[in-house]
Structure 1
Amino acid sequence: MVKQLYIVRHCKAQGQESEAPLTAEGQAEALALRSFFQQKRVDRIISSPFKRAIQSIEPLAAERGVAIEEDHRLKERELSDRPLSDWLEKLERTYSDKNLAYSGGESSHAATERAKAVIDERMQQDEEAVLLVTHGNLMSLILGEYIENFGFGEWKKLSNPDVYRINIESRSAERIWKEGEW
């Protein structure tokens, strides 16, 4: 059984589309992530296929010689398939109504379930430490499963990057990333 499960939010990026690369600041943050994990064991890295997620963890993966496994279930949740001028208000509603889905979008419940499937699969493996790289909205939904009342307000407080350690046995999570420390 996995003993350490880390969930990482990608570094600062140039946009929201799947091929948006990291900014220059985001590239520096990726190096900070590498330093942050210097003394931590990482046996496996599973990432969203979005470019910003991959680029965020590439320095660590290269240094450790650990392959980055892409898993589409860690991609960002799509709120809608059309532009929403009031997207922030609509997003906030999805935290109180987990089954609310907008045109062509995914509900909080559906997004959480696909992410939980990745975690459940990993828990059946023998790796010591697994690192999952994802996006802010999906990360907040995952954390809501382990931290009581983790919702929209907490999502707004997540940083790029951000790192939490999840304890599956105690069903808890703690933020271990300290902005500006690295």
Structure 2
Amino acid sequence: MTTLYFVRHAHSTYTADEWTRPLSERGAGDVPHITNILSKEAIELVVSSPYNRAIQTVQGIADQIGTEVLLIDDLRERTLTTEPAENFTVAMTRVWEDPTFAWEGGESNVVAQKRGVRAIQALLDQYEGKRIAIGTHGNIMVLMLNYFDDKYGYTFWKELDMPDIYKVTFDQHELVNVEKLWDRQGVV
């Protein structure tokens, strides 16, 4: 069995630059709680989206186990549109209603999911039997989970916390179990 810990980044301070957007004060305050939860899980490898907020969210566990955060470009958040959406909720609803639809300059669910799943399958192949923390984002995380089980969709995405942690167990490429490890108090 391989266990992936999908760690949705903590709260961030909005900037238009996806790459450098940092955690907010609240988000940075959640990192020790995230690290504490993950420290009980015998994490062996830490990977992340290349976006700063995702890296910052899992940096604590990487430091604790004495490893670098391995950056994987395909784990970055889906590009919804090149310009900020006038109505984010409407924009998100549209791409979930039609998985092949993409806004100007954005990725459809199908395209983003394919990219994210490619990264997950590579991790499952290369690190079979390991416990891997993954610094990720809400939408791409749900798209990846949705590939393995379609009960993870738009409604699930809307109910995510920021941060959030899901322990996801695989037998090779087959999803076996998904368990939530986070709530606002820090543990489930």
Q: Which residue of 2 aligns with 1:140?
A: 142
Residue number in structure 2 paired with 1:98: 99
Deviation at 1:22, TM superposition (A): 0.9
CA contact 1:11–1:56 (8 Å) conserved in 2 = yes
**Do 1:146 and 1:166's aligned partners in 2 also have CA atoms closer than 8 Å?**
no
Counterpart of 2:154 in structure 1 is 152
SS at match of 2:82: coil
The reply to whether residue 12 of structure 1 matches residue 11 of structure 2 is yes
Aligned residues of 1:164 and 1:175 also touching (Cα < 8 A): yes
Whether 1:33 and 2:64 are equivalent positions in the alignment is no
Q: What amino acid does structure 2 have at the position aligned with 1:129?
A: R
Q: For residue 160 of structure 2, what is the amino acid of its counterpart?
A: L
Distance apart, 1:157 and its partner CA: 0.9
The question of 1:165 aligning with 2:167 is answered yes
Q: Does the CA-based 8 Å contact 1:5-1:165 persist in structure 2? A: yes
Query: What secondary structure, in the 3-state scheme, does the structure 2 residue paired with 1:37 have?
Result: helix
Contact 1:9 1:135 in 2 (8 A): yes
Stretches of 4+ aligned residues off by more than 4 angstroms:
none
Please give the alpha-carbon distance, in whole angstroms, between the structure 2 residues aligned to 1:4 and 1:124.
Answer: 12
Contact 1:47 1:133 (C-alpha < 8 Å) held by counterparts: yes
For the Cα contact (< 8 Å) 1:61–1:68, is it kept in 2?
Answer: yes
- TM-score where L is the length of structure 1: 0.92
What is the TM-score when the length of structure 2 is the normalising length? Answer: 0.89
- Deviation of the 1:74 alpha carbon: 0.9
Map Cα deviations across residues 6-30 of structure 1 (whole Å, 9 max, x no partner). 1110011101532111111111111
1:112 correspondence with 2:113 = yes
Is 2:177 the counterpart of 1:178?
Answer: no
Identity %: 27
List gaps (5 residues or longer) in structure 2: none
Structure 2 residue aligned with 1:77:
78
User: Counterpart amino acid of 1:14?
Assistant: T
SS in 1 for 2:93: helix
Q: In 2, Cα distance between the equivalents of 1:148 and 1:114?
A: 17
Deviation at 1:87, TM superposition (A): 2.8
How many residues are matched? 181
1:3 to 2:2 alignment: yes
Q: Deviations over 1:25-84 (max 9, x none)?
A: 111111111101121111111101111111111111111102101111111111111232
Question: Is 1:143–1:173's contact at 8 Å kept on the other side of the alignment?
Answer: no
